[in-house]
Amino acid sequence: MTCYLVRDLLPLYIEGDCGKETETFIKGHISSCEECGELYELMKEPIELESAENEEVVLLETEEKRFQQRYYGLLLIKAACWFGAVFIAMLIIKLLI
């Protein structure tokens, strides 16, 4: 039961947001329990996320470019169809008059 409690309180302990009694209890438990000590060592080190963020930004940029190419390509096709329809309609009107 104490390992579960300590694991739940480790983020608060690392940030220094727990009381003195809790802090001494966690410190004692970490020194005696190998698993909780290893977890504490892993949690206190910051994780580098820069490469994942950069990779995500690159993926978003390429996805946005593909979307814009498809979207504007469809707009051009629609505009060309409308222009052709209007041109044919005007040509028919011109021939009838």
Question: Tens of pLDDT along 24-44?
Answer: 989 998 999 899 888 888 888
| pLDDT on residue 53 | 56
Residues of the chain with pLDDT under 50: none
Do 66 and 85 share a domain, yes or no?
yes
| Per-residue pLDDT at 63 | 82
Domain housing 55: 50-97
- The pLDDT, as a whole number, for residue 64 is 82
The DSSP 8-state label assigned to residue 86 in this structure reads: H
pLDDT value for 58: 65
With vertex at residue 44, the alpha carbon angle to CA 40 and CA 48, rounded to the nearest 5 degrees, is 130
Q: Are residues 40 and 55 in the same domain?
A: no
Q: Are residues 60 and 93 in the same domain?
A: yes
Q: Are residues 33 and 61 in the same domain?
A: no
CA atoms within 13 A on the CB side of 30: 21
Which residue intervals of 16-97 are DSSP H helices?
20-32, 34-44, 50-96
> Quick one: 7 and 31 in the same domain?
yes
How many domains does the chain fold into?
2
Task: Judge contact between 66 and 58, C-beta under 8 A.
Answer: no
CA angle 8, 12, 15 (to 5 degrees): 145
Predicted TM-score (pTM) above 0.75: no
